[in-house]
Structure formats: structure tokens, C-alpha cells
Structure 1
Amino acid sequence: MASGVPDEIVQSPGLASPASPTSSTGEIPLEHPPKLKGRKRLLQSLQRMSSSPSLARRTRSASTGYHRDGKASISCVSLGSTSYAACGSSSQLYPGLNVRPAASNDQRTTSPEGSARIRMVGPGSSPNVSQSMTVRLPADVRPASRGVQVENDKAEKVNEENEEETMVQPVVEPAMQPVDKPRFDFWKDMPDELKMRIFQYLTPQEIVRCSTVSKTWHEMCFDGQLWTSVDASEYYSRISSDSLVKILTSGGPFIRDLNLRGCIQLRDKWATEGETISAACRNLVNFSLEGCRIDKTSIHYFLLRNNRLEQVNLSGLPAVSNSAMKIIAQACPYLEMLNVSWCTNVNTKGLKKVVESCTRLRDLRAGEIQGFDDEEFMLRLFETNNLERLIMHRTDVTDDSLKVLVQGVEPEIDVLTGRPIVPPRKLKHLDLHHCSGLTDAGVRALAHNVPDLEGLQLSQCYELGDDSVIDVVRTTPRLTHLDLEDLDKLSNQALQEIARSPCAECFEHLNVSYCESLGDPGMLQLLKSCPNIRSIDMDNTRISDLSLMEASSRIRRRGYGDKLPKVGMRLVVFDCANVTWAGVREVLSSNCYIPRSRKNLATVITVTETTDPNMSTTCTAVAAAPTPQAPKTYPNEIIQLKCFYGWQMTVDEHTKRVLRGDLVSASRLDRKWADYMMVTEEAGAGGAGARRRRRRAREVERIYNADEGDGEALGIGGFGPIVGGARRRARSGGCVVM
């Protein structure tokens, strides 16, 4: 046993005990030394870890051999770390440890490889070593926290009590817990500017619904940035008065366009909340209260506190009076449009103040306002000459006042032409319909004085005839809209003059309804000379199927393309005695007509010649092969027709199919309706063959009702659903020659 012990280890004074002397044989008693605590125990556990190969030859357990003689050894390998890799001797670890050279003559410290004299580190081991001397553990095995240190202490205690283990297991540091990444709340962490941008894509109704989600959303939904434009005319019947007041008060400083048309639910709110609402809305530019039941005081508040108003619509408000016009003249210098039509308490005396003060006024709408027979007011309009739109329908305007508006008072007359020498008016739109005091003498004053006129309404001025209309049309090269409804004295000469006038190229809309003297001579000339005509109202006139056929021919000249068709002309011909179903059918056929040269299915003829070897003849084979599918062709524009109410359902269904590009189905409906109308006419005719015609009508109706319905909701003639679901078979129609 003694031969297996390595070189003699000097006993540490601190560990030598007089109560446990060594026997003569050199064996150490099997008593356990007192347990250490804290750092001492940690160092003790490190000392028991040895890498000396001589310990493997010991017959006793390693746990008892470490304390047999109270001596211990320490190895740098047990402190294995990159920071201690260069440790060659114990003197680099602890001061006071002396390493003797291998060539020393001391028999006790010599060994085959050489051995160092190592002193035991512990309390009282050397007087030169401080009692508080400690050793820093390497960084990779150093405990990271107090909790880890406690776990290490528990592990060491278990290892000490287990005597069967031959080697103390190293303490393994617990795995680091994964660090939770900060949770990103997409909506909460989003900037407020982006939130407002998202809310701007919602409709006002949706914004109000979103305001009930939470308090935060409530604040965002009623933020003024979302309510720069409030147009309640689209949802006035579906919003409560409290919500509307909330919007106006919270977003008032941001609102620029305010339209409260039809908001009658605010009738009880104006008395209590009127001043608050008007105080909040101070930056209005466009303001409309048409049809809103509001009191006079609230109107005055709005007008006084918004000096940037450019457009004001007070149409149909009985609370508006000349006092409101006075406020507008004083507080709204930037006014450009004013609508006071049907305001019974306003007259030209109040409008005169507005015209004098608001120099930017371009649009004045004053229908059913009294006082337009006042020549002084008309002279003021003549002097300013700023109006581009003047609406004074159903007023008391006379020939003399109209002359003052256009020519002024006692203008200078040109000797050669006999016309007054005055600056031309800037009027572009003039509405004089239902002014019963006007005659040809007054309307003729517009000639040569309104060269920029684009729209003129003279309907229901029963005293007007051809002379005044012809004079105005000849001198207005930019005229596009002309309304001459219910002029009994108008004749075809007026239509022919429109066709020859300079405005024929740009003319778009004509209304000659209830002009019972007009017929095909004037209408045909108009359709031929006006290529850009878009709308013609000619109900209750003498036009016939010829006008419808000419309109169909003109609309086909607008070309074909690969895009779905659109409505290019609107014709109103109901209650025209000379219009028959044949003319209506001509319009329907023209709407779904495609020229033969533009047909989608074309064929290629292939000619092959073969020679029979047994015969001296040559055979020629002709084969027709379809070309690859070409893009579909549609008419660029079609006619939308309003005709007799008994035919209108079929016409509307036909137009619907053409607009969605189903020309085949539209053509089939056209044919069925034409057959039905012919059979109906035969069945309704009297005479000896009436019974036979009625039988043929029933037979034709039975055949067509048995055909495939194609999913249409209307039957033949548009009078009911098609019964039967049989498959439609193709019919050649037979030989047309025989």
C-alpha cells in the first residue's frame, strides 16, 4: 500500500490533527475531517479532484484516500479553462507555493517525472497567506446568479454524502431561459397619422358604427381630420340628430364643405345647439342648407362667422330674408355662388346688395323670386357683367327688363347694323323657362350679345315663335343645350336653322316635347347635320319611324370596337302617333347589328388539286376552315329608347342585354318580339279570314313558348315568362327562292 502512494506530500499545518497520529505503518485513520462551509467547502471539493495517474492504482475508494494523511494535491487540469491554460505550476495560482526543481537531492520529492512541493490552501496553512485568500472561478463555470449558486451548493452536498461515487460530478449550469421578444401590437403601435388615413376610406355611417368599439376608437372616429367634408344628403335619413351634432361640434374647425340638405331631424336642435354648432364651424367654404328646417338666428350665426364662404345654397328656406342677404353682402366678400330659389321672403332688393358687394359672384340662382321686372336691379347686373350662370325661371321678368340686362339703358346704336354697341355678356347658362311675360321682342335682344352662351332654356314661354329662336341660334356658336318644350308656335323651320347654324357641330341636347307642329322634315335635317347629338326629347310631336331609322343609321356610323357598348343617344318618342313598332324594332336591330366585314367567325377557303392516275382528269377539293377566334366586336354606342309603355319592357330588356355584350340573345329577343307583333296585328284585323289568322297566332305562340327560355324573365313581347324547357333547334327557314 505504501508503494502506491506518490511522492511525499508535506502535511498542511492547518489540516494536521494531534488527535489522529499516524501509525508506524504509515496508514491514516478512517476518520472524516470536520465539514467545511462556504468557500472552504468549494475549495475542498476542488482539491479532491485530481488528475494524478497514481490515484488510479489505489485499492481504496477515492473518497477516503483524499483525506488519509491530511494531505492533498491540486492540478491545473481540474481548473480547465482557456484563461488557465498557461498555468504550469501552483505558484501561479497561489502565493507561497514553492516549486522545487527536478534535480533536487531530496528523496521525498523526487519522482520519475518530477514533483512540486505544494502547500495546502486553507485556514492556517501558512502565516504568510491571508485568511481571506480566495480563488476566482473561470468565467464559463462561474455561477451567474444567487439562485444558481444555491443550486450548486445543493449539488455539492449530495455528492459529498454519496460515498459510492468515485469522482465528484462537475456542476452543470442550468440552461438559460429564452428571452421573450417584445410583443408588437399592430394597431396600438401604429402612428396616429396612419390610423386616420385608414379611417378616411370608411363611409360616414361606418365611422359612426366604429365609434362604439372603445373609448379610444370613439376619440379617433370623431377626430376633425375625418370630417373635412360633411355631406349628409346621402345618409340624412339614417343618422340621428345627436350623432350629427356630435360630428359638427367635434370636427367643426376642420369642416370646409358642409351639406345639411334634408336634415329635418335637426329642427329641435337648432334652438339649443345652433350657436354651439355655428361657433365650432368657422372655416366653411361650401355651405348648403337646402330643405333643412332651421331658424333665422342660426342662419345668421353661420353667415356672420364664416367670412370665407364661396358657395351658399339656401334654396327653399322660408327663414331666409333680405336681412340674410345684407349679412352676406357684409361678411362674405369671396362669394361666388348663391342659390336662393324658392325663398319667398327674398326679393331683388336684397339681391342688389349682394351683387354690389360680392364682386366675385359668378352664379346667381334666384328662381321664383319677385322683382326681376325692376330695371334698376337689371342695370346693376349689366354694369357688373360678372355672371356666367343666371337662373330666373318662373319670375316676373319682362321684355324691357331683359333688354336692360343685355343692352343697358339707351345704348349707342350702330348705324350700319342697327344693333346696340355694348360689351358682350359673359353668360354661359341662362334659364328663362316659364316666364310668361317674355315675347319674341325681348328674347331677340340676346342675339349678338351672348356669344359664349352654352345652355338656353325657353320652355313654356308660350308667346315665343321661330323668329326669336332663329336669331339667338345663329349668333351662339357654342350652344350645346336648347330647351324649347311646349312652344306651340315653333315649326320645322327652327330645327332646320339649328342644323345650318354654327353650333351644329357641338350641339348635344334638344327638347322639343309637346311642339305639335314639328315633324320629320326638320328632325331628319337635324339628325344629319348634328353628329354629336346625345339626347332628343320629341314626345307628342309628329315625327314618324323615318326619324328613328335615321337616328339608327347615324349611331351606326360611330363605329365598332372590342369594348362593351355604351349609350350614345337617348330618344324619347312616347305618345307620338306616327311611331309604330316597326320603327322601334329598327332601333333594336340596329343596337345589336354587326357588319358582315366585322363578324367574329371568318372562314379560310383551301383549294387542293389531285390527279387520278387511272384517269386523265384532275379533281379540285375546296375546304372551308374557321380562323382562330378573333376578339369580339361590339358597337361603340347604342340608342336608349323611351317609347309606348306596352313596348317599353321589351325595349329595356333588349337594351340591358346589349349593354352587357350578349348580342346573340338580344337578336333572338328582337326576332321573337317582331314575330309576336306581326301575329298580333293579323289576329286583330277583321274580315273573313279573322278566324284563320287567330289560329295561326295561337300556333306561333305555342311554337315559341316551347323553345328554350334562355333564362329570360320576359316572354314574347315582354308580357310574361316563357313556359317549357325544350331545347331550341336550329331551323334553316327553307328556300327563299322557291
Structure 2
Amino acid sequence: MRFLSVGDRKASALVNRQWYEASLDPALQTNTVFHLLTPFTSGSTVQKFGLRKSPNLILNDMDGSSRSKEVVKKACQHLGQHLQSLSLKGSDITEGTFMVIIPHCCNLRKLDLSLCNSLFLSGNLLRKPNDFQAAEKSLVNVRELNLGSLRHLSDCVFNRLVTAMPNVEKLSLSGCTISYEFSPYDKESKTRASTSVLTFVNIKAFLEKQGKKLTSLNLSKTGLPGSSLRELAAVPGITIRELNIAGNRDVDDDDILALVKQQNGLTSLDVAMCGELTSQTVLHIQTYVPQMPYLNFSKFRELVCLRLNMCTGVTDQSLVAIATNVPSLEELSISQCHQVTDDGVTKVVKRLQRLTFLDISCNDKLTNCTLASISQYCHCLQKLDVSLCSQMSHDALDKLQCHLPHLVSLQSRLV
């Protein structure tokens, strides 16, 4: 089968069941994903998973029924040793079912527990010594952990999870309820792990311990105040390369300035929907470059992704400053930055000719002149979003597509 083309392989798979199963050999298909709706999956279907050896498994709509539990157990038995990515996102999974799954997944590198609120409701996850030891043995290779949008995540449960996964490099707490306050009357409140809420003090303690390994942190939509961002940036030994603080409206220009002073190895920074940010975020840094070497933009030459969606204070001047000082950008999003004009975008795309992704949607001041500039300079562009840019025309978009051979995605709902 490996000597056949993809088309011939698909045709041969229709001959009979044996040929079909041969076409599914893992040597012929890589990086496959199994997406199971557990209430509707039969046990006989699951038993065939062992032949596929898929490294990715997504389990949706899991409930507490014995049927779901049995389907999940069989799926992990047949796929467990091959699984590298497991997503339980949004499932009503119980602690018992979770502990049935985990011992079979000894090679996991990515675990998604986001929106699994029922799993964290009691606060007893991995509390039993036997459960913790089983998890610690199976999850030692996990590099990416998603705990996003959990209402009941506490310090104690968080500590048990990250202790069982000591090699985590990417952590997401997006949308989690985090307490940034502590009682001034309780002297132990800064050192004692809470059994009911997740606190920033505890997260900071984790970063102090894990900082050298952690490269990506997502704290978007957590109500992160600027003072806490400064504390995070100043943690000794931490070297974050990807940081997402989108949707935290209390973060201002000075907080970002304090961040980049400490974390000059950033390659990706998402500040979308941080409404307090203005052009000063860029201009302050540019102004102090000669006097403060820690702010030298040469240290940010590896930044490849920048999202400034809904940052209404961003102007043409600040965009040009970004493009001039960070020529390595490959992804730029400036949706709903209403002060940006054709002149600003033209100067930006002229300097950032490596762009593969550009989002300029919902900007009423942008016209066909912007599309002409993109056609002229952005020859590497693969994805473009110009939705709700009312001053652009369909004819200009047609011409743009003729000049961009690599463009595979164009979002262009103009009205």
C-alpha cells in the first residue's frame, strides 16, 4: 500500500474490509485524530482502535453513565500506549472515570481538562495517595496542560496536578476564576494553599519553582491586574516565550513596559481586548531604547505573533514603530483598531513582507488602497481577514487574490 498514490489507496480501500483495514495502517497515516461522542459509540467500534494507533483522542459529551465509562476505558486500553494527546474538554467526567483513563496513558504529552467542572467540583482530585501515585507515574511526560475555564479549581488541586506533571512547558488557565487578593489579617494567607479557590499567590509560587521549564502561559480573561502582571514578570529565573493576557482590561501601558523589561525573550504576545493599552505601549519602548538596553528591540527580533484586537488606542504611528523594530513578525491582528488608516497599513506591510496571517477586520477607515498595498508587498500571505471593512469592494478583493498565490483563506464579509 505504501507504494500507491493517495488516490489509488482510497480506491483500494473500497475493495473489501481487509483492504480497508490495510489502508488504515499507521505507517500510511500520521497524526490522525479520533473524535468520539461517547454516548453513541459502540464497544465493537472501540476495539478496532488498536489497529489505528492514533496519537490523538478527543472525548466529547462524556457523562457519568456506566456506558460512557466502559467506552472510555476500552478506548484508552486500545490506544493508551500510542496516545500523545488527550482532550476531555467540556466532559462531565467524574474522578473515578478519570482514574480509570489515566493509568493507560503513559506516553501523554498533551492533556486538555478545560471546562471539566464536574471533575474539580469536590476538590478531591488526586487526593488519595494511590490515585496520586498512579497519575504521577502516567503523566510524567506531559508537556502541555490546559486547565481553562474551570470554576472550581483550587490551589490544592492545582498543586497536586502540577506536581504529578513536573515537566509541563505550556500551561493554560484561560478563563479561570483567580483570586488576586489575600487577607491582610491572616499572616498565613500568602503561604497556605487554598482548598476552595485558585490564588495568584499560589500560581506565583508555582512559577518560582517551575519557571525555568515553563515557556508558554495563558492567563487570558482572568481579570489579571497590572500589579500582578508586574509580579509575574519579575519572578526570578522565569523565561516565558509565549504569553497570552488577552481580555484583561486593567493592564495598561506601564504594565506592558515592566513586562518587556523583564521578559525580553518573548516570541508571542497576545494583548487583544486590553482596552487600556494605547500607542504609548510601543512608543515608550521606542523612546527609551537608547538609554535602557534591557528594552532594546533587538532582543525582540524573534517575535513572530502579535495580536492587538480591540486596542482602540493603537494608531498608525505605533504600528509603524512595531513594524520597524520587529521585522520578524509573521502574524499580525489589528481587528477593531479604529484609528488605523490606509497609510499606516501600507507602511506596515511594506516592512513586514514575511507576514503569513493578517487580520484587519472591522476597520472602517481602510479602503481599497490597503488591499492594493497588501497585493504588492505580502507575497507570503496565507490567511487574510478583511470582514466588515465597509470601504472595500469585491472587485478589489478579486484583484488581490490574483496577486497572492499562497493565499488559502480569505474572510471578506464586507457588509
Q: Provide the residue aligned with 1:361 in structure 2.
A: 168
Corresponding letter in the other structure for 2:230:
V
Written as runs of structure 1 = structure 2, the 5 A alignment for 1:645-684 is 645=390, 647=392, 649-660=394-405
**Partners of 2:258 and 2:319 in 1: how far apart?**
19
Q: Does 1:338 align with 2:138?
A: no
Q: Is the 2:126–2:160 contact (alpha carbons within 8 Å) kept by the matching residues of 1? A: yes
Structure number with greater Rg is: 1
Q: Is the 1:248–1:281 contact (alpha carbons within 8 Å) kept by the matching residues of 2? A: no
Which of 328, 333, 356 is residue 537 of structure 1 equivalent to?
A: 333
Q: CA, structure 1 residues 402+307, in 2 after alignment: closer, same or farther (shift >3 Å)?
A: closer
Q: CA, structure 1 residues 641+273, in 2 after alignment: closer, same or farther (shift >3 Å)?
A: closer
Corresponding letter in the other structure for 2:301:
E
Q: Does 1:585 align with 2:369?
A: yes
Q: Is the 1:261–1:289 contact (alpha carbons within 8 Å) kept by the matching residues of 2? A: yes
Q: Does 1:313 align with 2:112?
A: yes
Q: CA deviation at 1:568?
A: 4.1
**Partners of 1:319 and 1:428 in 2: how far apart?**
29
Q: Does 1:467 align with 2:272?
A: no
Q: CA, structure 1 residues 404+588, in 2 after alignment: closer, same or farther (shift >3 Å)?
A: same
Q: Provide the residue aligned with 1:575 in structure 2.
A: 363
**Partners of 1:373 and 1:204 in 2: how far apart?**
57
Written as runs of structure 1 = structure 2, the 5 A alignment for 1:695-714 is none
Which of 267, 289, 303 is residue 88 of structure 2 equivalent to?
A: 289
The 3-state SS of whatever aligns with 2:350 is helix
Corresponding letter in the other structure for 2:392:
W
Q: Provide the residue aligned with 1:731 in structure 2.
A: none
The 3-state SS of whatever aligns with 1:232 is strand
Corresponding letter in the other structure for 2:99:
H
Q: CA, structure 1 residues 515+341, in 2 after alignment: closer, same or farther (shift >3 Å)?
A: closer
Structure 2: tracts of 5 or more residues without a match: 183-187, 290-295, 407-413
Corresponding letter in the other structure for 1:232:
F
**Partners of 1:660 and 1:357 in 2: how far apart?**
48
Q: Does 1:433 align with 2:220?
A: yes
Written as runs of structure 1 = structure 2, the 5 A alignment for 1:39-58 is none
Q: CA deviation at 1:308?
A: 4.4
Alignment deviations for residues 78-111 of structure 1 (CA, whole Å, 9 cap, x no partner):
xxxxxxxxxxxxxxxxxxxxxxxxxxxxxxxxxx
Q: Provide the residue aligned with 1:548 in structure 2.
A: 345
Q: Is the 1:310–1:335 contact (alpha carbons within 8 Å) kept by the matching residues of 2? A: yes
Corresponding letter in the other structure for 1:300:
M
Q: CA deviation at 1:230?
A: 5.6
Q: CA, structure 1 residues 252+473, in 2 after alignment: closer, same or farther (shift >3 Å)?
A: same
Q: CA, structure 1 residues 465+279, in 2 after alignment: closer, same or farther (shift >3 Å)?
A: closer
Q: Is the 1:348–1:371 contact (alpha carbons within 8 Å) kept by the matching residues of 2? A: no
The 3-state SS of whatever aligns with 1:523 is helix
Which of 259, 263, 266 is residue 479 of structure 1 equivalent to?
A: 266
Q: Is the 2:41–2:71 contact (alpha carbons within 8 Å) kept by the matching residues of 1? A: no
Q: CA, structure 1 residues 269+497, in 2 after alignment: closer, same or farther (shift >3 Å)?
A: same
Q: Is the 1:374–1:401 contact (alpha carbons within 8 Å) kept by the matching residues of 2? A: no
Q: Please, what TM-score do these two structures have when normalized by structure 2?
A: 0.70
Q: Provide the residue aligned with 1:141 in structure 2.
A: none
Q: Is the 1:481–1:510 contact (alpha carbons within 8 Å) kept by the matching residues of 2? A: yes
Q: CA deviation at 1:352?
A: 1.5
Q: Provide the residue aligned with 1:241 in structure 2.
A: 41
Q: CA, structure 1 residues 482+261, in 2 after alignment: closer, same or farther (shift >3 Å)?
A: same
Q: CA, structure 1 residues 255+348, in 2 after alignment: closer, same or farther (shift >3 Å)?
A: farther
Q: Please, what TM-score do these two structures have when normalized by structure 1?
A: 0.43
Corresponding letter in the other structure for 1:330:
Q
Q: Provide the residue aligned with 2:317 in structure 1.
A: 521
Q: Provide the residue aligned with 2:99 in structure 1.
A: 300
Corresponding letter in the other structure for 2:269:
L
Q: Provide the residue aligned with 1:170 in structure 2.
A: none
Structure 1: tracts of 5 or more residues without a match: 1-194, 382-394, 409-422, 559-565, 594-634, 662-717, 720-738
Q: Is the 2:256–2:281 contact (alpha carbons within 8 Å) kept by the matching residues of 1? A: yes
Alignment deviations for residues 227-247 of structure 1 (CA, whole Å, 9 cap, x no partner):
9976223xx68xx733xx434
Corresponding letter in the other structure for 1:523:
L
Q: Provide the residue aligned with 2:157 in structure 1.
A: 350
Q: CA, structure 1 residues 316+445, in 2 after alignment: closer, same or farther (shift >3 Å)?
A: closer
The 3-state SS of whatever aligns with 2:119 is coil
Corresponding letter in the other structure for 1:241:
T
Q: Provide the residue aligned with 2:33 in structure 1.
A: 231
What fraction of aligned residue pairs are identical, expressed as a percent? Answer: 13
Q: Is the 1:340–1:365 contact (alpha carbons within 8 Å) kept by the matching residues of 2? A: yes
**Partners of 2:396 and 2:236 in 1: how far apart?**
44
Which of 188, 195, 213 is residue 16 of structure 2 equivalent to?
A: 213
Corresponding letter in the other structure for 1:491:
T
Q: CA deviation at 1:330?
A: 1.6
Q: CA, structure 1 residues 279+461, in 2 after alignment: closer, same or farther (shift >3 Å)?
A: closer
**Partners of 2:280 and 2:132 in 1: how far apart?**
47
Q: CA, structure 1 residues 641+475, in 2 after alignment: closer, same or farther (shift >3 Å)?
A: same
Q: Provide the residue aligned with 1:676 in structure 2.
A: none
Corresponding letter in the other structure for 2:326:
C
Corresponding letter in the other structure for 1:320:
L
**Partners of 1:303 and 1:380 in 2: how far apart?**
29
Q: CA deviation at 1:550?
A: 1.1
Q: CA deviation at 1:454?
A: 1.9
Written as runs of structure 1 = structure 2, the 5 A alignment for 1:373-388 is none
The 3-state SS of whatever aligns with 2:99 is helix
**Partners of 2:204 and 2:113 in 1: how far apart?**
29
Alignment deviations for residues 173-195 of structure 1 (CA, whole Å, 9 cap, x no partner):
xxxxxxxxxxxxxxxxxxxxxx6
Alignment deviations for residues 212-259 of structure 1 (CA, whole Å, 9 cap, x no partner):
836x558767989889976223xx68xx733xx434314438746241
**Partners of 1:492 and 1:509 in 2: how far apart?**
18
**Partners of 2:179 and 2:30 in 1: how far apart?**
38
RMSD (Å) for aligned C-alpha atoms: 4.7
Alignment deviations for residues 544-574 of structure 1 (CA, whole Å, 9 cap, x no partner):
332123124325xx5xxxxxxx854624153
Alignment deviations for residues 102-132 of structure 1 (CA, whole Å, 9 cap, x no partner):
xxxxxxxxxxxxxxxxxxxxxxxxxxxxxxx
How many pairs does the alignment contain?
379
Q: CA, structure 1 residues 303+659, in 2 after alignment: closer, same or farther (shift >3 Å)?
A: same
Q: CA deviation at 1:469?
A: 0.8
Q: Is the 2:358–2:385 contact (alpha carbons within 8 Å) kept by the matching residues of 1? A: yes
Corresponding letter in the other structure for 1:575:
N
Q: CA, structure 1 residues 646+347, in 2 after alignment: closer, same or farther (shift >3 Å)?
A: same
Corresponding letter in the other structure for 1:464:
V
**Partners of 1:328 and 1:309 in 2: how far apart?**
17
Alignment deviations for residues 151-177 of structure 1 (CA, whole Å, 9 cap, x no partner):
xxxxxxxxxxxxxxxxxxxxxxxxxxx
The 3-state SS of whatever aligns with 2:81 is coil
Q: Is the 2:208–2:238 contact (alpha carbons within 8 Å) kept by the matching residues of 1? A: no
